[in-house]
A and B are shown apart, each in its own frame.
Chain A
Amino acid sequence: MPYKYEQPHLPGWKDMMIGGAIPGLRPNQRNPYFTGGTAKHYRPVINFDKCIKCSLCWEYCPDSVFDVTPDGYFNPALAYCKGCGICAEVCPVPDTIIMVDEMEFEDGYGKFIDEYRYWKENREAYRKWFESLLPKAQIISVRKR
């Protein structure tokens, strides 16, 4: 996949505040100092063609991973996603959010694409890619695999 998030910068021990304290975060602000997304086993992939913009994934995500796009979709910032699968569990539309094993991705474990941007720029390629992942999914919205 061509669109990659920039890898988070991990500071050295001399750069860190003593004891690992960090500047305070605003309410709902994700922690830029510790993204945590490298720890996940399953990655959510969104079928934006079927999304009804209900906002349940955005509301339920325990790590506030979903960013609202200008046209009202919800794009996961995968660097922060821990792979819990709650978004796929609460999504009310069949085959719209799926959880896929990280090892299935050619972009490699721990590297993250921008799903929404990929979909906007090439819907046909994105649809084919999504369909190739669907049989491998561990959790599929509405129906359990």
Chain B
Amino acid sequence: MGMAVSAIEAKRLEAVLKGDEEVEVVGTGTDAVAYALMLADIDVTAAYPIRPYGGVMERTARLIADGYLKAEYIVAAHEHDQFEIVKHASAVGARTFVGSSGVGWLLAIEAIVAISTDRYPVVALIGNRALDDPGAYGVEHNDALMVRDVGWLLVWVDTAQEALDTTLIAYRVAEDPRVMLPVGISMDGAFLTHSEHVFRIPPKSKVQKFLPPYDLGNRKLHPSNVISVAPQVNEDWVTELRKQMDEAMKNARRVIEEAYRDYAKIIGRDYGNPFVEPYMVDDADVIMVGMGTVSKPIKEAVRRLRAKGERVGFLRIRWFRPFPTDDIIRYLMGAKAVAVVDRDYSFGSPFDGGALYTEIRSALYEAEHRPLMINFIGGLGGREITYNDAMNMFNITLDAARKGKIEQRVIWYGVRE
């Protein structure tokens, strides 16, 4: 093996590729995704640098250069090129990986939409980043949310371990014949893409039992299977094709559940509810809701408030598309007040709030009991949400729960006047 990988790392990679036991390593969130690509044995990846997703490019390039992964590594001219490359590679039967961040992701939007409407199970990493202008490298979720309506499955991860596991699950779900839709894995820029975690890499022998080979069936473009993809169909077909996608997205709920169940059985890591992570919510009067790494300060606040006797909890949303409506209703219906933390904003939305808040409000419309709802717009452009911030947000929400009414629906948390 080459010189780029340390002797210790080389030994561990040999073990997961040839043995039956998982190994523990230290690495960033993007490293974890690259190791998952090695285990999933991807065929083609297209790379174009942009931070904060870029770490996955570097680690994947190293794994290929050192012989741990045999894959075509194509350096694209720009992001639109990147997503076109994987779309076409996927059409000829290659398992593909791609990714970007912020405005880079949006430059590719035409190809991104074609990937889902042509129904190719591409898996992408979105290292969440604020949309320029003004320039900012920090996390904001508006980049990934731009594609919430076009048939991409969207999932937010919280740790490097979850990033690795979710990448393997994403291929399994995306390539299921009942789904055949792309998956976008969102990872908070800097807070997860660049922070080092201890995580475990499962052995490839077990991953192969979990993840069957990519099979496009009669849709594989090949000289022996002459088909035409994406023909001009206009109004005669488009309604039917959108309906087909709708069914696939709805099927994904069942397929996601099956995939997490099999992952627990074969790989041995059980995430419980695949769609949301409930944290001390069962008897909670006040529940905060959020996506991604904001979970850390909020969970810490939950623990300390619980120690003082406050009945508080946290619900972390993993899958945003398909949206976990049933779980949202189940976990939030019993609360007196709910506070949604949005690391994004939807200008001019129904209550001038964040996207997650607006969707959760909609999900609760038909619930038997509708809790009070507060929306915190926080952490924009990569500003940190600390434990103290989480405590303040809880105190505002606990106050509303005690009074039985909210004074301000949407709070721009920490905005300087």
Q: A-side interface residues toward B, CB under 8 Å?
A: 10-13, 16-25, 31, 33-34, 36, 38-39
Contact = CB atoms under 8 A, between A and B. Distances in A.
Interface string B203-245: 0000000000000001100000011111111111100110110
Contacts of A33: 231, 233
B254 to A, nearest CB: 17
A34 B240 contact: no
Interface residue SS majority, chain A: loop
B118 interface: yes
B30 interface: no
Contacts of B400: none
B236 A24 contact: no
Given A36-B234, A38-B236, A19 B243 contact: no
B237 A25 contact: no
B336 interface: no
Interface in B230-269: 230-237, 240-241, 243-244, 247-248
B231 A19 contact: no
Contacts of A19: 117-120, 180, 219, 229-230, 241, 244
Nearest to B219: A21
B234 A20 contact: no
B227 A39 contact: no
Contacts of A12: 240
Contacts of A21: 219, 227-231
A27 to B, nearest CB: 12
Contacts of B229: 19, 21
Given A18-B119, A19-B219, A20-B237, A13 B243 contact: yes
Given A17-B218, A22-B231, 6 more contacts: A18-B219, A20-B118, A20-B237, A23-B228, A24-B228, A39-B234
A21 B180 CA distance: 13
